[in-house]
């Protein structure tokens, strides 16, 4: 059977949904390693076949875009490489399979950023193109394959204290988020010359079993949005206040020379751990709320034609942050909820499930 036929046939198959609790069961001994390797060798081609098939479902002409072609080539190569790997029979085969997975993960490292650029190009070429469901499918498959592959590699080659595979036990969300927010504040200062302070409140000592990268990614995206909104709304007012000797009392909620804080509150519940990120960045109008969850829609960058554009894009501009954050949360059984008050500010809630609870949540390889 040629590759294309094989891809079409595999793309129709259901990939197995597994729970994070299942992922967290340590597998020891060479037989388990071989068994898990065999399972992955069967599952991963299904994920990649479905992703490749999604590319082929795009409107005619789209796959002629040079960047899309390049991404498709990476997916095809991974599909071929994993599919043609010999049967895993011995421990040595499993080790070689880990090495292969590692190198394939590297190939895919920049695909997300690359897709964001493609999305902008395609929207210019085809203004009415609908990419949200295509990108949801692609990112869901991408995240699932990364979790499964990294979990296998880590369980096999480098067991770390306090971790089972990719899952960290008793992860402190505050610690992870603090590192991320410090970086964002520094980045914002380098762009605007000023940045709001980030304050932590709530159950600061609470912990959860979770994948650290997921917490980092989700918090990072929402803090970037909160910090940018606060700075862009209040910077002109602050500058005006500094330039004049008087200050109209009711325009901002902070002292005239300071930006209002971004507040991060951790709340621990029975089912979820909630991370609430609040800003006074002016909120979103109804029109913005409707578009904000679309891939590639952004209010950033319209006047960024200076040489700092690349640095600014570290903060905003791809229009992927909100939608991808929600996708990350939902993949592991959580969610992202937005409450915005136009003219005032926004509260974003990230709900994380306590994954160590019985039953856990599903990692849906394909939605
Ligand atoms: N906290 C917020 N306050 C006000 N507007 C917001 C907030 N969060 C998001 N938005 C609006 O929603 C848009 C989309 O946000 P999203 O994070 O998806 O993309 P982005 O920040 O523009 O780019 P990037 O993908 O680089 O993060 C933003 O451009 C902004 O207009
Ligand atoms: Mg953003």
What is the DSSP annotation of 275-288? EEEEE-S----HHH
Residues 176-210 pLDDT 10s: 999 999 999 999 999 999 999 999 999 999 999 99
Residue 238: how many other CB atoms lie within 10 Å: 19
Nearest residue (by CA) to ligand 1, atom 6, is 225
How many angstroms does the Cα of residue 173 sit away from the middle of ligand 2?
Answer: 20
pLDDT at 30: 66
Looking at the fold, whether 242 and 189 belong to one and the same domain comes out as yes
Higher pLDDT: 63 or 167? It is 167
pLDDT at 247: 47
Nearest residue (by CA) to ligand 1, atom 17, is 321
Looking at the fold, whether 200 and 330 belong to one and the same domain comes out as yes
With cut-offs at 50, 70 and 90, classify the pLDDT of residue 255: low
The residue among 161, 185, 204 that closes a domain is 161
Residues 211-224 pLDDT 10s: 999 999 999 999 99
> Which ligand does the CA of 233 lie closest to?
1
With cut-offs at 50, 70 and 90, classify the pLDDT of residue 19: confident
Neighbours of ion ligand 2 (CB under 5 A): 225, 316, 321
Q: Per the structure block, which two tokens stand in for 223?
A: 């803090």
The CATH number of the domain where 103 resides is what?
1.20.140.20
Percent of the chain with pLDDT over 70: 88
Q: Which atom of ligand 1 is nearest to the CA of 319?
A: 19
How many angstroms does the Cα of residue 356 sit away from the middle of ligand 2?
Answer: 30
Contact 321, 224 (CB under 8 A): yes
Looking at the fold, whether 45 and 59 belong to one and the same domain comes out as yes
pLDDT at 363: 59
CA atoms within 13 A on the CB side of 240: 10
Looking at the fold, whether 149 and 187 belong to one and the same domain comes out as no
Q: Which atom of ligand 1 is nearest to the CA of 301?
A: 22
- 286: exposed, middle or buried (Cβ count in 10 Å: 0-12, 13-18, 19+): exposed
Do strands 262-268 and 198-202 pair parallel, antiparallel, or not at all (unpaired)? parallel
Looking at the fold, whether 157 and 242 belong to one and the same domain comes out as no
Dihedral sign of CA atoms 177, 183, 187, 189 in order: positive
Looking at the fold, whether 76 and 201 belong to one and the same domain comes out as no
pLDDT at 188: 96
In the predicted model, is pLDDT for residue 305 greater than 70?
Answer: no
Q: What is the mean pLDDT of residues 219-244?
A: 88
Q: What is the mean pLDDT of residues 335-345?
A: 97
- Residue 245 has what DSSP assignment? S
Q: What is the mean pLDDT of residues 148-177?
A: 90
Q: What is the mean pLDDT of residues 297-323?
A: 84
pLDDT at 250: 43
Looking at the 3D structure of the chain, how many domains does it have?
2
Mutate to test the pocket of ligand 1, among 188, 260, 298, 324 (most ligand atoms within 8 A of CB): 298
Residues 124-138 pLDDT 10s: 888 888 899 999 999
Domain that holds residue 323: 167-363
The CATH number of the domain where 217 resides is what?
3.30.565.10
Looking at the fold, whether 327 and 199 belong to one and the same domain comes out as yes
Looking at the fold, whether 101 and 175 belong to one and the same domain comes out as no
How many angstroms does the Cα of residue 183 sit away from the middle of ligand 1?
Answer: 18
The residue among 128, 161, 194 that closes a domain is 161
Nearest residue (by CA) to ligand 1, atom 27, is 321
How many angstroms does the Cα of residue 81 sit away from the middle of ligand 2?
Answer: 35
How many angstroms does the Cα of residue 94 sit away from the middle of ligand 2?
Answer: 40
Q: Provide residues with CB under 6 Å of ligand 1.
A: 221, 224-226, 229, 279, 281, 284, 288, 292, 297-300, 316-322, 346
Query: Among 40, 44, 35, which residue's Cα sits nearest to residue 13?
Result: 44
The residue among 132, 161, 190 that closes a domain is 161
How many angstroms does the Cα of residue 247 sit away from the middle of ligand 2?
Answer: 31
Stretch among 228-232, 250-254, 304-308, 314-318 having the lowest mean pLDDT: 250-254
In the predicted model, is pLDDT for residue 254 greater than 90?
Answer: no
How many angstroms does the Cα of residue 313 sit away from the middle of ligand 1?
Answer: 12
Stretch among 47-51, 215-219, 279-283, 311-315 having the lowest mean pLDDT: 311-315
Mutate to test the pocket of ligand 1, among 292, 297, 320, 326 (most ligand atoms within 8 A of CB): 292
Residues 82-100 pLDDT 10s: 999 999 999 999 999 999 9
pLDDT at 207: 93
Looking at the fold, whether 40 and 74 belong to one and the same domain comes out as yes
Looking at the fold, whether 294 and 320 belong to one and the same domain comes out as yes
Residue 221: how many other CB atoms lie within 10 Å: 25
Percent of the chain with pLDDT over 90: 63
In the predicted model, is pLDDT for residue 333 greater than 90?
Answer: no
In the predicted model, is pLDDT for residue 7 greater than 70?
Answer: yes
């Amino acid at each position: 059977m040629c590759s294309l036929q094989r891809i079409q046939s595999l793309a129709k198959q259901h990939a197995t949904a597994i729970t994070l609790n299942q992922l967290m069961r340590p597998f020891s001994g060479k037989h388990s390693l071989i068994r898990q390797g065999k399972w992955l060798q069967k599952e991963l081609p299904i994920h990649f076949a479905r992703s490749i098939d999604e590319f082929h479902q795009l409107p005619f002409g789209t796959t002629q875009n040079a960047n899309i072609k390049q991404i498709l080539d990476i997916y095809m190569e991974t599909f071929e490489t994993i599919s043609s790997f010999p049967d895993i029979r011995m421990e040595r085969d499993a080790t070689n399979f880990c090495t292969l997975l590692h190198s394939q993960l590297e190939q895919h490292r920049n695909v997300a950023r690359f897709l964001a650029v493609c999305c902008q190009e395609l929207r210019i070429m085809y203004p009415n193109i609908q990419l949200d469901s295509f990108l949801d499918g692609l990112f869901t498959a991408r995240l699932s394959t990364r979790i499964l592959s990294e979990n296998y590699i880590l369980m096999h080659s480098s067991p770390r204290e306090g971790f089972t595979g990719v899952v960290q036990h008793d992860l402190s969300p505050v610690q992870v988020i603090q590192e991320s927010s410090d970086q964002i504040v520094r980045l914002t200062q380098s762009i605007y010359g000023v940045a709001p302070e980030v304050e932590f409140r709530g159950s600061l000592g609470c912990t959860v079993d979770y994948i650290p990268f997921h917490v980092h990614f989700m918090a990072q995206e929402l803090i970037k949005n909160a910090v940018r909104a606060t700075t862009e709304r209040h910077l002109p007012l602050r500058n005006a206040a500094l330039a004049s000797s008087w200050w109209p009392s009711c325009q901002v909620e902070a002292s005239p020379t300071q930006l209002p804080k971004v507040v991060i509150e951790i709340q621990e519940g029975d089912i979820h751990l909630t991370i609430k990120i609040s800003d006074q960045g002016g909120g979103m109008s109804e029109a913005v709320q409707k578009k904000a969850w679309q891939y590639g829609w952004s209010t950033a960058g319209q006047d960024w034609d200076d040489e700092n554009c690349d640095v600014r894009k570290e903060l905003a501009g791809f229009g992927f942050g909100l939608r991808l954050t929600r996708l990350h949360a939902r993949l592991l059984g959580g969610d992202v909820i937005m409450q915005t008050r136009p003219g005032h500010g926004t509260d974003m809630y990230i709900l994380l499930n306590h994954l160590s609870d019985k039953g856990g949540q599903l990692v849906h390889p394909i939605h």
